[in-house]
């Protein structure tokens, strides 16, 4: 322990960040020259998880890439001798008339879900941050939609949105609006799955944003109140700017999660009718497993596009978080 302090002491005081970074590295380097058994132990403890990652993450991803670059049929899928076709599967996917609608649905689904989940989650977080009676209990109850199995949420929403016997149409009829074919009309199916997915995503946004609000010091609000700022000004001048880091993280994670939403859409509409609620995730599944004659290659190609999108935003997320940790 002693040599650590000695090493870091001579560093110029002005570059505090630099010293703080350099010191542990140097002291670690010193430790390493001693018997290296800690390294062996560390890797011993990590070995199972690394084997696991290679076998069950890297290999499926590799298989998926391989699938997308070969011309697979059911026969060659089992025998494993499909001819290499390069980017032919990707070309098939891009030229498919279903590509543009699926892309548009994916973008609309993700963007609309994200905006509403975040806005509702933030409003609720601000509201629940006011510590009234029962606030903790009610906040806990808000977690329910997030904890329910997706098949449960999806089937419940399916029945609520049922054209003839659903409660939603019954309520609409009571206020004089004609029945809407939520799940069976191509112009409404995407809206329906968006509504259900917003409902599922609100709790996550609420919990994360609430924890962000908790870390804003109350004294700021008191000072602003003393200066005569009203609630609206306090929200825009204090809450909103100070919540920006947490908001960025929440939105990016939400983006990655929403991009891969599959269960809800598949269970409620199977991407239909007529592809009107098909996103990349359901399209990929449809191609690979949804038809009598599976098109593994194109299915994997669509999936890989999704992986690339998720990883791009994932990298942005990591960078944002690193930057926040550093500051």
Binding mask 262-301 for other proteins (x = CB under 8 A): xx---x-------------x--xx--xx------x--xx-
Query: Which DSSP string do the residues of 171-230 spell out, in sequence order?
Result: HHHHTTPPP--TTTSTTTHHHHHHHHHHHHHHHHHHHHHHHHHHTS-HHHHHHHHHTT--
Q: Which of 5, 21, 155, 291 binds other proteins (CB under 8 A)?
A: 155
111 binds other proteins (CB under 8 A): no
Token reading at 272: 């239909």
Q: Cβ of residue 93: shortest distance to other proteins, in angstroms?
A: 14
Residue (73 or 156) nearer to other proteins, CB: 156
Determine the Cα–Cα distance for residues 19 and 8; give it in Å rounded to an integer: 7
Bridge partners (DSSP) of residue 70 are 84
In the 8-state DSSP scheme, what is residue 11? S
Q: Which of 232, 325, 326, 327 binds other proteins (CB under 8 A)?
A: 325
Residue (25 or 187) nearer to other proteins, CB: 25
Determine the Cα–Cα distance for residues 294 and 285; give it in Å rounded to an integer: 10
Contact 281, 261 (CB under 8 A): yes
115 binds other proteins (CB under 8 A): no
160 binds other proteins (CB under 8 A): yes
Binding mask 23-62 for other proteins (x = CB under 8 A): -----x---------xx-xxxxxx-xxx-xx--xx-xxxx
Residue (187 or 319) nearer to other proteins, CB: 319
Determine the Cα–Cα distance for residues 284 and 292; give it in Å rounded to an integer: 15
Choose one: 82-90, 95-103, 105-113, 148-156; the region binding other proteins (CB under 8 A). 148-156
182 binds other proteins (CB under 8 A): no
Q: Which of 5, 187, 215, 233 binds other proteins (CB under 8 A)?
A: 215
Binding mask 64-93 for other proteins (x = CB under 8 A): x--x---------xx-x-------------
Residue (13 or 49) nearer to other proteins, CB: 49
Residue (187 or 217) nearer to other proteins, CB: 217
In the 8-state DSSP scheme, what is residue 237? I
Q: Cβ of residue 174: shortest distance to other proteins, in angstroms?
A: 7
Residue (13 or 70) nearer to other proteins, CB: 70
Pairs from 306-312 (Cβ < 8 Å, separation ≥ 24): 306/259, 306/260, 306/280, 306/281, 307/61, 307/64, 309/259, 309/280, 310/256, 310/259, 310/260
Determine the Cα–Cα distance for residues 207 and 179; give it in Å rounded to an integer: 35
Determine the Cα–Cα distance for residues 104 and 90; give it in Å rounded to an integer: 18
Residue (81 or 187) nearer to other proteins, CB: 81
């Amino acid at each position: 322990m002693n040599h650590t302090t000695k090493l870091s002491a001579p560093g110029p005081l002005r570059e505090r960040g630099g010293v703080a970074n350099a010191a542990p590295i140097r002291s670690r380097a010193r430790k390493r020259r001693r018997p290296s058994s800690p390294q062996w132990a560390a890797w011993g403890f990590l070995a199972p998880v690394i084997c696991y990652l290679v076998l069950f993450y890297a290999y499926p991803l590799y298989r998926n890439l391989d699938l997308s670059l070969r011309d697979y049929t059911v026969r060659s899928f089992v025998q494993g001798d499909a001819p290499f076709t390069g980017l032919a599967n990707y070309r098939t996917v891009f030229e498919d008339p279903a590509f543009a609608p699926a892309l548009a649905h994916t973008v609309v689904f993700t963007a609309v879900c994200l905006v509403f989940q975040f806005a509702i989650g933030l409003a609720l977080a601000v509201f629940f941050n006011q510590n009234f009676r029962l606030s903790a209990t009610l906040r806990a109850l808000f977690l329910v939609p997030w904890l329910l199995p997706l098949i449960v949420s999806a089937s419940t929403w399916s029945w609520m949105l049922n054209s003839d016997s659903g409660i939603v149409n019954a309520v609409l009829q009571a206020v004089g609006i004609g029945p809407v074919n939520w799940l069976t009309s191509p112009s409404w199916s995407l809206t329906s799955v968006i509504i259900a997915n917003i409902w599922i995503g609100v709790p996550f946004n609420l919990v994360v944003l609430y924890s962000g609000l908790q870390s804003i010091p109350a004294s700021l609000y008191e000072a602003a109140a003393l200066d005569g700022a009203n609630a609206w000004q306090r929200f825009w001048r204090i809450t909103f700017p100070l919540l920006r880091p947490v908001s960025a993280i929440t939105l990016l994670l939400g983006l990655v999660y929403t991009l891969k939403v599959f269960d809800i859409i598949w269970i409620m509409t199977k991407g239909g009718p007529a592809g009107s609620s098909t996103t990349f995730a359901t399209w990929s599944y449809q191609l690979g497993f949804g038809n009598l004659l599976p098109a593994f290659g194109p299915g994997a190609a669509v999936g890989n596009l999704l992986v690339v999108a998720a990883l791009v935003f994932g990298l942005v997320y990591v960078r944002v978080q690193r930057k926040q940790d550093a500051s």
